[in-house]
Structure 1
Amino acid sequence: MFRNFKMVSKVVFGRGCFSQLGDILQEQRQGSESVMVFLVDDVFKDGSLENRLPRNADDLLVWVNVDDEPKTVYVDQLVMQVKAHMAGKQDSHPSGVVGIGGGSTMDLAKAVSLMLTNRGSAADYQGWDLIKKPAVYHAAVPTLSGTGAEVSRTTVLTGPQKKLGINSDHTVFDQIVLDPEMIADAPNPQRFYTGMDCYIHCVESLEGTYLNSFSRAYGEKAMDLCRDVFLDSPEDADDRLMMASYCGGMSIAYSQVGICHALSYGLSFVLGLHHGIGNCVAFDYLEDYYPEGVGEFRQMMARSGIDLPRNLTAGITDDQMKTMVDVALVLEPLWENALGRDWKTVMTREKISDLYLKM
């Protein structure tokens, strides 16, 4: 049966389009007590961004910290903060949730919007299509590009027992505002690691068994844009990187990622590595599976002056290794996309452990 997946309803793109955010949100405001919740990466706390936010008097601004990967317990705390702000107001839910930041901040915005309408903890919904009720209106403004979080149906979260996304059609943003000026000051190597998330999306999608013409069209375009940005550095590199992220995210919407992302989840859960760094660390050891992609990745890495962290798994305990392997193996669709339906006969626990030990 063909998948009938949801896409972002509305997209605005262009330099300076952030200035339209107020007009866009105004369409969602209803009544004199309408509340918008702004979840903004706290890296911007002491800058000029706060004064540019189109806030009304009763809107809630929360500076979120994403030094660590987003956790389900943090989502639950944010939801309680929003509910406390809404107590005694005419509406029980805000008119919308707006995430402004990189992939982790956007994932938090998606998760909070979902958990405002679904009972329990965010940890209860880690998996595929467990969400039953639509989220409140939610929008995003990326300040980093590469993760594809702005278009994906996943909000990646670390729970008490696993790192696994809330995968649902209800997760997809209702609106995204793609302004290349918002990513202009992203520092290297953070910009590189996030951009490589997009590049690796493309490699894994284009070489996966789930590949189809829809995924290929978006994946090939995103791959070309990544090459432009990280091998040629054109004047409009930020514009191209932003569209690479969009297209890369769309490429995996109708296919999947693969081995690198599965291994990265294990690294993040046990060692606390951010997703982009974890992808780069893992991908550099997957030459046997993605030879051309790894070779080109190393060229991009050298051109950007990146030195990957090494020996990360030296000295880990047997229990930690078991947990890493367990977390990676939960992501069965990723392994099947990479290696086919018989992937369990190809990728054993011992092979995964050997890959981790190289890192």
Structure 2
Amino acid sequence: MRPFTIHATKAIWFGPGVAGTPAQDIASLLGPRVIVVTDAGITRLRLAGPFIAALEKAGATVAVFDGVLPEPPDMNIETAADMARDMSATGVVGFGGGSAMDVAKVVALVVGSSQTLSQVYGVNVATGPRLPLVLVPTTAGTGSEATPVAIVVASRTKKGVISPHLLPDAAILDPELTLGLPPAVSAATGIDAMVHAIEAYTSISPNRNPISRGLAQQALRLLGGNLRRVVDHGDDIGARSAMLLGSFLAGQAFANSPVAAVHALAYPVGGRFHIAHGVSTGLMLPHVMRFNLPEARRDYTTIASDIFPDLAAASEVTRAEAMIDALSDLVPAIGLPTTLQAIGVPESSLPDMAGEAMQQGRLLINNPRPVTLEDALRIYQAAFG
């Protein structure tokens, strides 16, 4: 067994209602001046209200930055960081989906350290320290509360900040916060979590290890067994709980065994055409898996019945292909688009997108099968429809 390293979120609170009554430990951790980073939708729905009220009751002054955009631009971080500096913030909360949590992570980093945003892009470039950080997800998909990764759009290109400094001090997992998610959001975030687990399990990263693989398999059991349920019956708190925990476990898995070509090819779709991340990863998933099949067949065969228990009865010779076919059927069944053409991507843009995808070397290096520029273009052409 080869050496490996596990980085993890320090503390986790899980359960219905826990965000409305955060532990005193949370208030003590964040200190007297807290900035909550979120988006306008969370403010409109008042989802963060009970959490903020609890902090204020504990004596904290709370400021809210609710300008986070989907696929957050670097200016979101700069603006929120300026607000945090102006109030001499002692702690940062990311409350919302992956975009809000990613912005909060980087705000905590750049305000707490001497580094600027442009100086922290890349893998293990950030030196820290950061401000105390608590993350509260309101979707079940990104797993950002479990990862040392934040993704930012700068000049239409997605850039990553990857550092253990981004792991939060605490994650608060409250499935009640996900009850109001529309079916389309539940579908997109849920399929994204499945992509995280699949890519973590099959990653050829030197840090792929028994713990990350076990987390990925447990995540796939929870996600595969409940994704269609939360899309069709969004008020099912049991299914919502399973999805939220599955998303966290998938995030923990890929935090230590990084994702690969599905994400590399999805990034240009989101960055260029402002397509939700889960929509683009779900769309690219079956096409990348078919490309990877010659090298990933054994792993795909292993996890097939975790996602789709009925496939346990399928022949091992055909189980991997059957899983890819089942995932191809699942995407439209939960209401997501299945072709690039359907989401408005012009065919003429495919060569440039392939070039952009090849710039994601930190991801492609983890793919089970090497991807060339020509391969990337062929995968896009297959996904075009």
The TM-score with structure 2 as length reference comes to 0.81
Q: Deviations over 1:31-71 (max 9, x none)?
A: xxx201111221022333354223437321111332x3012
Conserved in 2, the CA contact under 8 Å of 1:219 and 1:251?
Answer: yes
Q: Are 2:153 and 2:159, in contact at CA under 8 Å, matched by a contact in 1?
A: yes
Amino acid of the structure 1 residue aligned with 2:330: M
Q: 2:168 aligns with which of 170, 173, 181?
A: 173
Partner of 1:89: none
Match of 2:324 among 286, 294, 297: 294
Which of 50, 57, 61 lines up with 1:58 in the alignment? 61
In the alignment, is the contact (CA less than 8 A) between 1:76 and 1:121 conserved in 2? no
Deviation at 1:273, TM superposition (A): 2.0
Deviation string 1:103-161 (CA, Å, 9 cap, x unpaired) is 11110110110110234542332210011122100101110011111100001111237
Asked whether 1:113 is paired with 2:108, we answer yes
Out of 125-134 and 288-297, give the one that drifted further: 288-297
Q: Please tell me whether the aligned partners of residues 279 and 337 of structure 2 are also in contact (alpha carbons under 8 angstroms).
A: no
Match of 2:121 among 126, 137, 146: 126
Kept after mapping to 2: 8 A contact 1:14/1:179 = yes
Deviates more, 1:8-17 or 1:201-210: 201-210
Residue 228 of structure 1 aligns with which residue?
225
The answer on whether the counterparts of 2:71 and 2:276 sit within 8 Å (CA) in structure 1 is yes
Change (3 A) 1:321 1:77: farther
Which structure dedicates a bigger proportion of its chain to helix?
2
8 Å CA contact 2:34–2:92 kept in 1: the answer is yes
**Residue 293 of structure 1, CA deviation:** 4.5
Aligned to 1:156: 151
In structure 2, the gaps of 5 or more residues are 294-320
Which residue does the alignment assign to 2:354?
Answer: 325
- 306-315 or 193-202, larger mean C-alpha shift: 306-315
SS in 2 for 1:18: coil
Return the letter of the residue paired with 2:62: D
Which of the numbers 323, 331, 336 marks the counterpart of 1:306?
336
Unaligned runs of 5+ in 1: 87-93
CA RMSD of aligned residues (A): 2.3
Q: 1:6 to 1:132 in 2, by over 3 A?
A: same
**Aligned residues of 2:332 and 2:338 also touching (Cα < 8 A):** no
Which secondary structure does the structure 1 equivalent of 2:66 belong to? strand
Change (3 A) 1:189 1:38: same
Instruction: Pick from 214, 219, 227 the counterpart of residue 217 of structure 1.
Output: 214
Judged with a 3 Å threshold, the aligned counterparts in structure 2 of structure 1 residues 350 and 104 are, in CA distance, closer, same or farther, namely same
Aligned counterpart, 2:189:
194
State the Cα deviation string for residues 207-263 of structure 1 (Å, max 9, x = none): 233443112110110111111112566941101001111111111122121211110
Contact 2:47 2:177 (8 Å CA) reproduced: no
In structure 2, the CA distance between the partners of 1:138 and 1:274, relative to structure 1 (3 Å rule), is: same
Give, in whole Å, the separation in 1 of the partners of 2:351 and 2:11: 43
Which amino acid in 1 is paired with 2:71?
E
SS class of match (2:150): strand
Q: Which residue of structure 1 aligns with residue 251 of structure 2?
A: 249
2:296 matched to which residue of 1?
none
The corresponding residue for 1:77 is 79
By how many angstroms is 1:29 displaced? 5.2
Query: Are 2:13 and 1:46 equivalent residues in the alignment?
Result: no
Would you say the 8 A contact 2:5–2:256 is kept in 1? no
Provide the secondary structure at the position in 2 that maps to 1:339: coil
Residues 295-314 of structure 1: CA distance to partner in whole angstroms, max 9, x if unpaired? 23233234323344641432
Instruction: Give me the whole-angstrom Cα distance separating, in 1, the residues matched to 2:107 and 2:198.
Output: 31
> What is the Cα deviation at residue 201 of structure 1?
1.3
Q: Percent identity?
A: 21
What is the CA-CA distance between 1:321 and the residue it aligns to? 3.6
Corresponding position of 2:138: 143
Query: Structure 1 residue 352 and structure 2 residue 376: aligned?
Result: yes
SS for the counterpart of 1:141 is strand
- Distance in 1 (CA, whole Å) between partners of 2:347 and 2:331 is 27
Residue type at the aligned position of 2:219: A
Q: C-alpha displacement at 1:292, in angstroms?
A: 4.7
Letter in 1 for 2:252: M
Query: How far apart in 2 are the matches of 1:161 and 1:145?
Result: 26
Displacement after TM superposition at 1:171 (Å): 0.5
In the alignment, is the contact (CA less than 8 A) between 1:37 and 1:97 conserved in 2? Answer: yes
Instruction: Note the alpha carbon deviations across 1:254-288, whole angstroms, 9 max, x for none.
Output: 21212111101122222222211111122243333
Between stretches 216-225 and 326-335, larger displacement belongs to 326-335
Q: CA deviation at 1:3?
A: 4.3
Instruction: Specify the alignment match of 2:7 in structure 1.
Output: 6
